[in-house]
Amino acid sequence: MKRPTSSSLSYILPALSLSFVPPGVFGKPISRTTKCTQAQHPGPSNPSFETGDLTGWQVLSGTAFGNSSVTALTSYWGGPFNQKGKYFVDSFVASGDPAIGQLRSESFRASSYLSFLIGGGYDPVNLYVGLVRDSDGALLVSQTGMNDEALIRIIWDTSAWAGQNVHLLVYDNNSGSSWAHINIDDVRTGCNALQDDNGLTFTVFGEANQPATGSSPSCNLYAADVVRPQYHYTPYQGWINDPAGLIQWNGQHHLFSQFYPDAPLWGPMHWSHATSPDAVHWAELPAALYPPYPNNPQDTSGRWTGSAVNDSQNRLHLVFTDFTDLAFHPGATEQVVSTATSSDGTSYSLYPQNPVIGTVPPNSGNGFRDPKVFHDPTDNSWKLVVGSGDGSQGKVHLYRSTDLLSWTYVGVLFEGDGFTGSMWECPNFFPVGNKWVLFYGGRSLGWFEVGTYNGTSFTSETRGLLDAGPDSYAMQWYQDAAGRNLAITWLGNWPTSKWPSRLNGWAGQQSITRELFIRPDGGLGSRPIPELASLEQSGNAKSWTQKTVGDTAIVLGHTTTARLRLTVDVPSASATSFSIRLFSSSAEFVLVSYNFATRILTLDTSNAGYGQTGQWQPVVVPGSDGKLSLDIFLDRSTLEIFSSDGVVTSARVYPRYQESQDITIEASGHIVFDSISLTPLGSSWC
């Protein structure tokens, strides 16, 4: 992400008469044992706007702020605002998004820490809450919003300026019509900046707390960010979505992702690139593909999702969607298929005669994208599936090639009935045993179809969800050297506006590597690959056998980077249900429960902090031996729950408090679990 630089701020400076202090003074993670008592001074008056107006604050300019921008609204389209007390400031409510303006607090002496709640649009240059030194007008530190309304706490280490006179500047210079406002509430200083009124310690958010780096991720860098997954792939700064180009090539697993490095938002697409010897430990490589018009960030043309194969010259051969932004290139074909190759796996050359498929087949009005190449044993050729849709139903087109460069249209492999959406993205097609599996994204969900294939068309027998949770999309399959069917899915989803990690400069993450298999009921199942055991810190593991659980909660441990496994013999359980609390404290928790009668597993994030809230309820069935196992991966802000029948349920979780790490279990009734184990997991980057 681009933090404001002195040059990007220069056109603001004359108006504000500010000078800019580079963010390098930050970078030390804020721990719970702090120096908060060293410098404690009162903050500005009316810190939470509980007067219901701007008493104590001063409108410097514009119409975005005024007494009517202090609001008592409690909810918006995406849920509650989560203000502290009754009121907060929202630069939208007085005069709408296009209004601009500046609001400042009273001057106060800087303490060692300062925190406040922020919401609103992402625009580090034009929308922020800043700390300004009175003596020289220097903008010491600033924080922009995350394109969501709900308020999240930002914490700054302000000890470098302790005792100096400063003020807060709420700055809205964005006159756009969408996400062009900023929300603020509850300014706190000193130790109160780190803890709430009940003594719980706030989770530390804020771009200023991210150590500066130009280099690859490392365990220390990633450990410093308390919401950063430790063993799920994330971009250090910027945005990722779909995994792409998955392949094991010359021994190494390659993971590419849709990537926009300049902001934690979708933008002109690059392909980020990481490799791994075991599909667990990743090393970051330079981006593999870049958008075609990098000099104009408004032009969203980019290299969209695609796939990788090993070609006849043992090159890593990428086949992807070349997307052209028609607003800047009228008359172009918006989505075509292009290719790039690499002999060393690191640097990629675009094929000079791109595109390799430049004409969109008939009845593809909703789109034509995400080519996935596979070797088809039915005629020993290369085939490619590509997502599409027309009118009311999604479809998958099939192409054939012998050289990966010249492609012949075979026809529509399969089309839907509208239930799974009108545009299918990211299709994958591959044999498993004597069946063929087709999966794709539609209606913001990942769907599988298991059935049969005659060389030109597919007949579906069983349909289901690839992941029962809210945060999986654009899964991609690949076959490794051992012949396993592996997959990685993007743990993000479009419908939610909850992307709290944007406040730390990044958004999006990939799942752990999953192995796919056909379940006894004919559906597609997932399980974690065994290589994940290499992350286990077994010396600190806890395990129980024949563990009795009743209606008093048992604390199993206190961690958010771990693997929790349990097995129960369902016929012998006399309880009606059991429930597990994760990311739990007195203030919040994620609830995972299982009802023996209905066989419904419930993932409930209604009380789980800043992330998306809701309930997701797949049916999970015990094995023929009566056993049911759950294999739960927690990774700071990520949760993946694998059930023994192959159902997986994933969600992103952002606790508000650092204490929210308890893992507890209880039952309504009496259960003897065959086994329970809780094993801390290490980092993919160490």
- The structure tokens listed for 59 are 């409108």
Nearest alpha-carbon partner for 493 in 471, 519, 513, 464: 471
Judged by beta carbon, residue 441 or residue 505, the one nearer ligand FRU is 441
Residue 422 within binding range of ligand FRU, rule CB under 6 A? no
Rg (CA), the chain: 26
In 63-135, DSSP assigns E strands to: 70-71, 75-76, 79-80, 88-90, 101-104, 108-109, 113-120, 127-133
Q: How far is the CB of 282 from ligand FRU (least distance, A)?
A: 20
Q: How far is the CB of 497 from ligand FRU (least distance, A)?
A: 16
Nearest alpha-carbon partner for 573 in 675, 673, 665: 673
Q: What is the CB-side half-sphere exposure of residue 652 using CA atoms within 13 A?
A: 27
Judged by beta carbon, residue 335 or residue 577, the one nearer ligand FRU is 335
Residue 240 within binding range of ligand FRU, rule CB under 6 A? no
From 146, 336, 337, 474, residue interacting with ligand FRU (rule: CB under 6 A): 474
Number of residues that bind ligand FRU (CB under 6 A): 14
Residue 476 within binding range of ligand FRU, rule CB under 6 A? no
Which residue is it, tokens 């903050």?
Answer: 43
Q: How far is the CB of 258 from ligand FRU (least distance, A)?
A: 4
From 90, 370, 631, 640, residue interacting with ligand FRU (rule: CB under 6 A): 370
Nearest alpha-carbon partner for 489 in 231, 218, 233, 222: 233
Check if the beta carbon of residue 98 is closer than 8 Å to that of residue 73.
Answer: no
Helix (H, G, I), strand (E, B), or coil: what is residue 504? helix
> Which amino acid is located at 320 in the chain?
F
Q: How far is the CB of 632 from ligand FRU (least distance, A)?
A: 26
Residue 509 within binding range of ligand FRU, rule CB under 6 A? no
From 325, 376, 425, 588, residue interacting with ligand FRU (rule: CB under 6 A): 425
Judged by beta carbon, residue 116 or residue 368, the one nearer ligand FRU is 368
Residue 336 within binding range of ligand FRU, rule CB under 6 A? no
Measured distance CA(1)–CA(504) in Å, rounded: 9
- Containing H/E element for 7? helix 6-9
Q: What is the CB-side half-sphere exposure of residue 563 using CA atoms within 13 A?
A: 21
Residue 9 within binding range of ligand FRU, rule CB under 6 A? no
Residue 516: how many other CB atoms lie within 10 Å: 23
Residue 404 within binding range of ligand FRU, rule CB under 6 A? no
Q: How far is the CB of 437 from ligand FRU (least distance, A)?
A: 19
Find the DSSP H helices in 416-458: none
Q: How far is the CB of 635 from ligand FRU (least distance, A)?
A: 22
From 258, 496, 637, 683, residue interacting with ligand FRU (rule: CB under 6 A): 258
Helix-, strand-, coil-residue percentages of the chain, each rounded to 5? 5, 45, 50
Judged by beta carbon, residue 130 or residue 267, the one nearer ligand FRU is 267
User: Which residues make Cβ contacts (< 8 Å) with residue 124, sequence separation at least 6?
Assistant: 1, 2, 3, 4, 142, 144, 207
Name residues contacting ligand FRU, limited to 292-331 (CB under 6 A): 304-305, 321
Judged by beta carbon, residue 162 or residue 474, the one nearer ligand FRU is 474
Check if the beta carbon of residue 125 is closer than 8 Å to that of residue 143.
Answer: no
Name residues contacting ligand FRU, limited to 12-41 (CB under 6 A): none
Q: How far is the CB of 445 from ligand FRU (least distance, A)?
A: 12
From 84, 369, 383, 652, residue interacting with ligand FRU (rule: CB under 6 A): 369
Q: How far is the CB of 540 from ligand FRU (least distance, A)?
A: 37
Binding site for ligand FRU (CB under 6 A): 241-242, 258, 269, 304-305, 321, 369-370, 425-426, 441, 473-474
